[in-house]
Structure 1
Amino acid sequence: MATADPETDGAYAELLDRVERIENVGNAAGVLYWDQQVKMPDGGTPARSKQLSALQTVRHDLLTDDAVGDLLADLESQDLDDEQAAVVREIRRQYEREVEVPGDLVEELSETISEAQQAWREAKEEDEFETFEPYLDRLRELHVERAEYVDAEKDPYEVMFEEGEPYLPLSTVERIFDELREGLVPLIEDVQENGADIADDAFAGEFDPEDQEALCRDALDLLGYDWDRGRLDTAPHPFMSGTQFDARITTRFHETDFVDPLTATVHEFGHATYQLGLRDDAYGTPLGDSRSSGIHESQSRFWENHVGRTKAFWERFLPTVKERFPEFEDVTVDEAYEAVNQVFTDNLIRVEADELTYHMHIILRSEIEQEFVGGDLDVSEIPGRWNELMDEYLGVVPETDAEGCLQDIHWSSRFAGFQNYTVGSVFAAQLWATIEEELDDPEAMIREGNFGPIREWLTENVHRHGQRYTTDELIERATGEPLTAEYFLDYVTEKYETIYDL
């Protein structure tokens, strides 16, 4: 943890003490959220929503206390070192975004989110959008109201986007989306119309959940997951939750598909690796917290795609798959590689999508939520609009809302977050290009199961900085240039033209 300069007259030290209490309250809420998704019985929702609401209100009250504002004002004229200045910058940003938001709004929003998540689970299980509809509509009203308190001069959707990605303008992300549309759509069409046949059914079969879990644990062991600071569980929607001392991951299993749970586990491992790579001595301060949603997603997409979907990884891991599932004894590395990288021409589910069509799922969701938040789309029109855009962008229409607009948990808590999945993919490709230049044959490291140098490079260049640098500064420090879609487009073009013999 950064220490105070005596010349600050204790103001910095007192600010750190207050911030650590604020962070601890937030982290405690995170554990309750994890329990709600993983262990809590369905009937626990009424109490849990009150508990989470109380913690969020306490956190808000601690952050917006007049004393915090006074300390920030005192520190404006102090001579701070770079780390201290970064801590104050981040706390000031949080304070200024929260201080005008009424506490009762914070409490109602938190309680509604908790209730909405249970309603979403029930709606998805029963394929009844109407169950979720009133919660979704109320959440939109509350989030818009909150955004107007934060910054009445900005579009509410932009304010919401800045919540998870504070230093990367939405206009930059929209420019990247335009570049991806231009590059990905013709590539997807080329694969669909002219691509050679590949071994897309190499792993067909039915699989016991216990065997799938054992395989996921094998993968985590190989990658170097720290079981002393983590655990693997199941949840309706895979996620990671925790701190640098306790980073838990979840996955889910499918009766006829072990590849999706495996890649989801590797994805969440990437999130956990970032969390565990944060500085232990900076816990409770912005220096010990992750930079942003987009940077976090870059780590999960890096491990899922640039490691877990490579031929080198399957050269190493395929023997383990055969041990767990002997029926695949005759599957070759090339067949395994093609199977885990097939382009799905009829896929309905975002988290099961390939690297190409995945981003059309993201663009679809971003457009719908912008229309909904902006008041141009009624909540009752979401299923129809979803199906319309699925047909336009992906050429497939879901038969149920459970496979359509109810498939993701995200709208039960927030809006303007899907863009960060694409930001993460783009940055992950940029990171991989840099690693290829700076490490000696990283593909050989993957093939040999020697993941330590890759983890260490990411920790040194991304994880350990916490929030010391803004998003754009961190990207340039890690890769030497601003965020660009160039590396991602080059990567997927070369990869899929090779796989599909285009």
Structure 2
Amino acid sequence: MASTDGSDPEAADGSGSEAYDDLVERYGRATYLGDANAVLSWDQEVMMPEGGTPARSKQRGAVSAVAHDVLVGEETAEALDALEGADLADEEAAVVREIRREHERNVRVPTDLVEEISTATSEAHPIWQEAKESDDFEAFAPTLDRLLDLKRRYADHVDPDADPYATLFADYEPHLDLSTAEDVLEELRAGLVPLIEAIGDSAAEPYALAGTFPEADQLELTREALETLGYDFERGRLDTAPHPFSTGTQFDARVTTRFDEAEPFDSLASTIHEFGHANYTLGLPRGEYGSPLGEHRGLTVHESQSRLFENHVGRSEPFWKLFVDRFDDHHGTDLTPRQAYEAANRVYDDNLIRVEADELTYHLHIVLRFEIERDLVAGDLDVAEVPAVWNDRMEEYLGVRPDTDAEGCLQDIHWSHGSFGYFATYSLGSVLAAQLYAAAEAEIDGLDERIATGEFGALHEWLAENVHEHGCRYRTDELIERATGEPLTAEYFLEYAERKFGELYDLDRYGEH
């Protein structure tokens, strides 16, 4: 096993032991099965014929059950027991820590429940998609009710004494507690609401792009954006899906996007967002595949990588100095870099769709979802009430009311995946992205100039050295402090937002003049 701190793992007592080797081998088998399941899921959302769901749901359920059995099996428990108190090298101790956590959480969950959840989520995807296309929440409601019940049962098995929503949140962010997410969301709400209100009162009018931009041209442009940023098509691919996502391993990390012929900046932003995910995945240590050292460090860190590239790179003025000519060539426009920058950063507080929202109002979308999910999981909100509550809070937080459920509570795919507890990581990731980017700027000479000339190597190298190559060696808080020198804080994001949008909207209170 490789070591990044110069120590010799083989020299430590317990390193290379039969118990350790067996533990890593068994965890690897569970990982490979999970990754195979992810490919089945990707295929279902991107390539599979519509009629394939009955078989696919059984396939995915069976694979999930086998992976679960490997992870919680008696042999895994025996290996962990044998390593209790062992004198391990730092990297080995991290491996055991991460596997122990996964084992201890999952051993409490019956295999038949794991299989039922996997089957249900596979079956839910086409139901959600059809309900969205037909604007029929009632058609999805029974499925949502079923998934909530399954995930409540899952949470109760993991820890019957804990807040079930906290338990579900920990599946996506294992080392930052739910109270941290709540604090960050509250801090963002307190800082962003007055900024958004000031923007609404401003007389400034950043450039707005209008027209029709064919999907084929947008697809070519998004592919060129991926190439410009350094996406490795030898280990990835670009496809379309109802909801953009990225999935894969360090050997095969795929991205998807979607298009609106009236909004070419949206497809570009979502593709760059997914590039950030894939870039992190592809940057994980190849030699550690199948071990926690070859896995991402939770969704907060993963979302920090996507939001960093989407916003701090893809929505930056230096990027548009680099990319505006390519945009013009594909779409027949004649934009200046400044016009493109302004168009890519307009604040629309009446935007109904989260993935198309600007950097600021985006977080009010997250707050809305977070609150509704908490109430659903707690049983304080009935599924039938979701559309009305969603619309009321959309009107309260963003001043706009959806005309359809397709634009409202059916817009996101996450509930069909059973991904309750996920949404807060988008805001946590945005906060961390700003903190990481500030640290990178402090260490990389002329980062803006490098981006403006298409030189992304230094940024990729910094992210690899400070985030990607560590896998799960460090807990989330430890990784953040090692990379930035301080704990997670929303200060960098709020300062960045106030500086950027203060200048765009000519706000004396916020901008630097």
Measured against the shorter chain, the TM-score band is: over 0.9
Q: Does 1:99 align with 2:90?
A: no
Question: Among residues 251, 275, 281, which one is paired with 1:269 in the alignment?
Answer: 275
Aligned to 1:454: 459
The alpha-carbon distance between structure 1 residues 337 and 468, as it changes in their structure 2 partners (threshold 3 A), is: same
RMSD: 1.0
2:258 counterpart letter in structure 1:
R
2:483 counterpart letter in structure 1:
A
Question: Among residues 389, 403, 408, which one is paired with 1:404 in the alignment?
Answer: 408
| 1:470 to partner: Cα distance | 0.3
Aligned to 2:126: 118
In structure 2, what is the Cα distance between the partners aligned to 1:183 and 1:125? 36
2:360 counterpart letter in structure 1:
L
| 1:173 to partner: Cα distance | 1.2
Q: Is the 8 A contact 2:13 2:88 kept in 1?
A: no
In structure 2, what is the Cα distance between the partners aligned to 1:22 and 1:207? 45
Aligned to 1:475: 480
Question: Among residues 289, 299, 311, which one is paired with 1:283 in the alignment?
Answer: 289
| 1:98 to partner: Cα distance | 0.6
Q: Is the 8 A contact 1:271 1:297 kept in 2?
A: yes
Aligned to 2:510: none
Q: Is the 8 A contact 1:346 1:395 kept in 2?
A: yes
Q: Is the 8 A contact 1:20 1:285 kept in 2?
A: yes
Q: Does 1:500 align with 2:505?
A: yes
Q: Is the 8 A contact 1:4 1:12 kept in 2?
A: no
The secondary structure found in structure 2 opposite 1:250 is strand
The alpha-carbon distance between structure 1 residues 4 and 195, as it changes in their structure 2 partners (threshold 3 A), is: farther
Q: What stretches of structure 1 move > 3 A for 4+ residues in a row? A: 1-7
In structure 1, what is the Cα distance between the partners aligned to 2:407 and 2:372? 16
The secondary structure found in structure 2 opposite 1:154 is coil
In structure 2, what is the Cα distance between the partners aligned to 1:452 and 1:268? 19
TM-score by length of 1: 0.98
| 1:254 to partner: Cα distance | 1.0
Question: Among residues 98, 104, 122, which one is paired with 1:90 in the alignment?
Answer: 98
TM-score by length of 2: 0.96
In structure 1, what is the Cα distance between the partners aligned to 2:365 and 2:84? 44
In structure 2, what is the Cα distance between the partners aligned to 1:198 and 1:469? 42
Q: Is the 8 A contact 1:298 1:423 kept in 2?
A: yes
Aligned to 1:213: 219
Q: Does 1:186 align with 2:191?
A: no
The alpha-carbon distance between structure 1 residues 488 and 6, as it changes in their structure 2 partners (threshold 3 A), is: closer
Aligned to 1:12: 20
| 1:77 to partner: Cα distance | 2.7
Aligned to 2:314: 308
The secondary structure found in structure 2 opposite 1:152 is coil
In structure 1, what is the Cα distance between the partners aligned to 2:186 and 2:336? 38
The alpha-carbon distance between structure 1 residues 334 and 257, as it changes in their structure 2 partners (threshold 3 A), is: same
Aligned to 1:359: 363
In structure 1, what is the Cα distance between the partners aligned to 2:201 and 2:328? 33
In structure 2, what is the Cα distance between the partners aligned to 1:256 and 1:177? 31
| 1:4 to partner: Cα distance | 5.9
Q: Is the 8 A contact 2:68 2:114 kept in 1?
A: yes
| 1:194 to partner: Cα distance | 2.0
Aligned to 1:428: 433
In structure 2, what is the Cα distance between the partners aligned to 1:185 and 1:322? 34
Q: Is the 8 A contact 1:4 1:10 kept in 2?
A: no
Count of matched residue positions in the alignment of Structure 1 and Structure 2:
498
Aligned to 1:390: 394
Q: Deviations over 1:127-177 (max 9, x none)?
A: 100111011001111101110110111010000000110000111111111
Aligned to 2:63: 55
Aligned to 1:164: 172
2:384 counterpart letter in structure 1:
S
In structure 1, what is the Cα distance between the partners aligned to 2:422 and 2:367? 11
1:481 counterpart letter in structure 2:
E
In structure 1, what is the Cα distance between the partners aligned to 2:10 and 2:77? 18
The secondary structure found in structure 2 opposite 1:249 is strand
Q: Does 1:243 align with 2:249?
A: yes
Q: Does 1:441 align with 2:446?
A: yes
1:431 counterpart letter in structure 2:
L
Aligned to 2:144: 136
Q: Deviations over 1:162-216 (max 9, x none)?
A: 011000011111111111111100000000012411212x3x1112211111000
Q: Does 1:150 align with 2:158?
A: yes
Q: Deviations over 1:202-238 (max 9, x none)?
A: 3x11122111110001111111110100000000000
In structure 1, what is the Cα distance between the partners aligned to 2:282 and 2:349? 37
In structure 1, what is the Cα distance between the partners aligned to 2:395 and 2:448? 38
Q: Is the 8 A contact 1:4 1:13 kept in 2?
A: no
In structure 1, what is the Cα distance between the partners aligned to 2:247 and 2:10? 30
